[in-house]
Structure 1
């Protein structure tokens, strides 16, 4: 029952005051064997186990075992409570000279349970009464304690095999699953241990017969389904996918005004989804801003990179390339202008050494190194290659922007043998602007490090290409995907009709795009001067938050920290939710720089928070819906219909649904109740009570004749 996890430091130390003998216990298993009377839930004699009172004997103190709530057979700790006594050991017999009430923990806290490691237990009990718990545990019963009897049942349901019968026992009737509840009175307290087992075996048999008889006494419960029920009494069956479709519009209002108008203009001209064009415009702004500013960091005065990783899902033909080209047009023109100047310099450099003897040519090259290609936009480049450009000083800022994300996720860097190294490299680039490349001793050329470099990702790809990557546990678990701002736009195919008015529109003369491109060109120009109050850190300055923005940042962080808790929205997306505040600060920095602000104000940070919340909702939808071949509601109604048709009935006990339905509903009370409600609202089932037993009744259309 106990997991033997050996610790370097002792878990418990017991020192005998008479002999001075020291006993160290390094695991819960050893401690249990040496100090605990499991049958009587007491501390064994001569156990000086309370570290704050090492001279006090804890003999006869009550111990309640804590178990792992996910694995009820594993003891993880003990709660010890009672009177610890101190003795004068110089006298014989020892004389008690002091006593103190103690209450302390050995090991870890968990769920109170006893005897739940018995593989052959016929049933397991849940109770909300500690005195009942102790009595049942001492009698050898498998029992779980919680101050909420219904919660105790859920713990049993989640942590025990389906083959073990569940019952609840207490003095006060439970609110739920009353057909599985055994109510006792004060006379139970006098029942001897040898009669308790028979008592519950009898109760188990009675409950099983009661459930069966409730079915049999109904004229339509078994054999012929209810002939009186008609489809008209139920209402029309509604599509189950309807209630699972969650609208998550892109918060375009969060972007700076010029960027908002550019997004709308690109969407109109290209006939592409707003979310897609918004990501493209943000990618362009990130590319420009990362070269000039850093985002504020709570523990680093120099800030952190404001570079963003963006990911957009789009079907083939959704106008990904055209949207990105319009968003990047000013950058593309700037790159082309610089490349033309580079070509001229390169030709001059080649001409300067033409015709020179080898020795003079080598001297010329040493004094006049060749010019570097100024390109910073890449669509298909490996980490190895871009790291080399950073280390060699050719690049300090770059973007990987591609509408074929499959090339990236399926490329050489993402192959199994190099993937972990690549993911770590990209993570360091994102977090610290640092890259390192180490080659073998036989090929040291190109080895080295680069600091304060920046990389923006703007990836777009089809669902078929991205689906496996987005669900890859390595890409998620290593923190690569959680760094991305994700959007999954609506598919506009079939709605992009073109009339004469549309065909006469010209993107190159649209005042909204001209204003946006002009702003991008200004920020790309080498001439804009940084104001004197900004301290430069390797050519960049930190855009600080004002007081209001700092309050919003703190509240945003706390909100998503709480939402990562057990049973909360992002419990299984902690890697994603934990980066919400960081991504919002970075995005706000990009927005503020594009607008020419000297600090991040409340409005700008609020807007960035809206975009990050949109992204987290997209990740959550992917985790909860896209990963599944069918919805939870569809799984549950199929299971209920099969059970009913196999038993030739139109109903099944609610408690049977709770204990035996498909996962994850079987292990999640709140999820099951939500899905049951969805099936009721969609007219697939009704909940009816007969006596103390609740039943799930299915729609007549689902009952086989």
Structure 2
């Protein structure tokens, strides 16, 4: 929710010595996106960012992020350190001619911290070890560093919501809060990044159990010293609106988690088409879903034959949002393959028609049995009814299909999805998705029958005016159809798509961009592949081999399952979105199988599974934005704030004891499970904070509210 701060004068710049082009950065967000690999705490390649040594490349230098002491998820600066190199660009390949050890600051210095997505954060870590900080940050943990581990605890305790467990990790036991401390032994230090989260998840469970058995030991907000209280009076930030349209914003699509070839193809597509990255990403993933679904199955615990790896994608985009252009560029090799097959089909059909005319009538029936009419090889449809598609499956005309359309309204507003036919169509689509199976059994019909091992990918893109009604349709949501979709609803970039002469020239050569050609070539290789054969223990030959999870990926998938399950609990984020959250784990497995197959891997490894979980997690947040949870004009958080204001003004004070506030709060939020989320929201958006006075916790109001 932090506003993007733009500076008139650039505080960082990078000049490419080969082209002479200078990129100026006017915000910390743009600088990080352009120059910082935040996942690995490294400077990206070709970053000439040293303020005094602009000709030196700082690539691979270590980066330490600094955050706002009052808002720990707001990055305000970076400390860069390492070896910067100068190159002689007159030679090819370039020759290193000098190097210097560098250490410099970009932005402002604050607290050394790496804070991840607070929405799903079950815990936060404090440490006094820089070595541990780097290791944990690279592993994706939320961690705060201070040379004094007790101070590190105070920072995370004052800067994080009360419901997030605070844990300490290091070599030296802290003076206070030892019950929250985890000893950093050699076993922890030697753990791979992929197993670190599993380790801390278990430690969290251990600590929570100990707190439940010893309620006196539960951590409390520490009282701030008098000198810090005085200095902190002006530290309040302006409150952020609690209205839903302001709170719920689209989050960046997690493309950095995806394998390199896919990530680069997405970025190239978004660049050339000038479309949102999320839209390009959905099209890329839908394309490889179509390619993989006919080759492999995803793993399923209860079925050794697995389940289809098919996926359904739904993307919102306004009129003129470049939906069609995205699809055309991404699907280029698939469309080429379709056209080639269609040309061959037309030739075969002409030959068949010509030959059929030469067959005598008495021999025609037998000839027809021996020489069936060629079938149309089309497998990507933009406008087809479900009834027709099922007929094609049953007749064997289609086995592996994709419904790919930039006009989602044609699907959602079509006859099939309206009235009495909707439930029947939805049932057929969910069977196709779940089991790769469809059936038709109607009186007086030649199209009756059953089709097994058929596959369907959806890639629907549409305008908000069309989608908004459909996405909140109780039938579409309740029958489990929409929860099977991976959703993205990116903000429009209309008004930002200006062209330069250089861009126009680059656009002419877009089909030679290696970022796209690598992706297209892999797609072409898959299209040439025959269905793989795999013998199982009983000697049978499954139609689809199952892409299994590696042992580390299985642990990560287990953690993701537990995360989604916990968030469905009473008072949690997905309490009213259980059909979506409960299916997230299955979608992650399917997407993991698709990604692994595209990457030509023999199993779903932990990197692939991490990417799949990130994409599904993003989809859940998008569905949450569309959910109809908040139906009242005034949210519970707003009602709590109004109550606190009335009580404090009446008592001529700026704070109220938390236990008193809970007892007198609006009736529906008097229990901790309803009260705490509302209170945490008020804390997060700068309305209140918690302080401790004489060992009692008080809710203190932002002074701006009392003026």
Cα distance in 2 for residues equivalent to 1:679 and 1:614: 24
Cα distance in 2 for residues equivalent to 1:562 and 1:638: 30
Distance change (3 Å), C-alpha of 1:427 and 1:670: same
524, 534, 548: which one aligns with 1:544: 548
Cα displacement (A) at 1:240: 3.6
Cα distance in 1 for residues equivalent to 2:590 and 2:541: 17
Cα displacement (A) at 1:251: 1.4
Give the TM-score taking structure 2 as reference length.
Answer: 0.59
The answer as to whether partners of 1:307 and 1:454 remain within 8 angstroms in 2 is: yes
Distance change (3 Å), C-alpha of 1:339 and 1:243: closer
Summarize the alignment of residues 180-579 of structure 1 with structure 2, pairs less than 5 Å apart: 238-241=240-243, 244-246=247-249, 248-354=251-357, 358-439=361-442, 441=443, 443-505=444-506, 506-526=509-529, 539-579=543-583
The answer as to whether partners of 1:584 and 1:608 remain within 8 angstroms in 2 is: yes
Give CA deviations for 1:579-616 in whole Å, capped at 9, x if unaligned: 12211111111111111111221211121111111111
Cα distance in 1 for residues equivalent to 2:568 and 2:705: 41
Cα distance in 1 for residues equivalent to 2:310 and 2:569: 29
Q: Which of the pair has more CA radius of gyration?
A: 1
Cα distance in 2 for residues equivalent to 1:374 and 1:266: 28
Distance change (3 Å), C-alpha of 1:347 and 1:632: farther
Cα distance in 2 for residues equivalent to 1:278 and 1:268: 12
Cα distance in 1 for residues equivalent to 2:633 and 2:540: 52
Q: What SS does the corresponding residue of 1:284 show, helix, strand or coil?
A: helix
Cα distance in 1 for residues equivalent to 2:235 and 2:522: 64
Give CA deviations for 1:163-218 in whole Å, capped at 9, x if unaligned: xxxxxxxxxxxxxxxxxxxxxxxxxxxxxxxxxxxxxxxxxxxxxxxxxxxxxxxx
Cα displacement (A) at 1:661: 8.3
Summarize the alignment of residues 7-86 of structure 1 with structure 2, pairs less than 5 Å apart: none
Cα displacement (A) at 1:494: 1.7
Point out where structure 1 has 5 or more consecutive residues left out of the alignment.
1-231
Cα displacement (A) at 1:419: 0.8
Give the TM-score taking structure 1 as reference length.
Answer: 0.59
Distance change (3 Å), C-alpha of 1:284 and 1:236: closer
Cα distance in 2 for residues equivalent to 1:527 and 1:248: 39
Give CA deviations for 1:329-388 in whole Å, capped at 9, x if unaligned: 110000000001001111111111236565555554343221000000011111101000
Q: Which residue of 2 aligns with 1:3?
A: none
Cα displacement (A) at 1:566: 2.4
Cα distance in 1 for residues equivalent to 2:591 and 2:682: 41
The answer as to whether partners of 2:248 and 2:625 remain within 8 angstroms in 1 is: no
Cα distance in 2 for residues equivalent to 1:352 and 1:635: 80
587, 591, 598: which one aligns with 2:591: 587
The answer as to whether partners of 2:441 and 2:449 remain within 8 angstroms in 1 is: yes
Cα distance in 2 for residues equivalent to 1:560 and 1:522: 36
The answer as to whether partners of 2:688 and 2:699 remain within 8 angstroms in 1 is: no
Cα distance in 2 for residues equivalent to 1:661 and 1:330: 61
The answer as to whether partners of 2:282 and 2:315 remain within 8 angstroms in 1 is: yes
Distance change (3 Å), C-alpha of 1:669 and 1:562: closer
Distance change (3 Å), C-alpha of 1:451 and 1:638: same
The answer as to whether partners of 1:584 and 1:605 remain within 8 angstroms in 2 is: yes
The answer as to whether partners of 1:659 and 1:666 remain within 8 angstroms in 2 is: no
Please identify, of 243-252 and 343-352, the stretch whose mean Cα deviation from structure 2 is larger: 243-252
Cα distance in 1 for residues equivalent to 2:327 and 2:264: 15
608, 611, 615: which one aligns with 2:612: 608
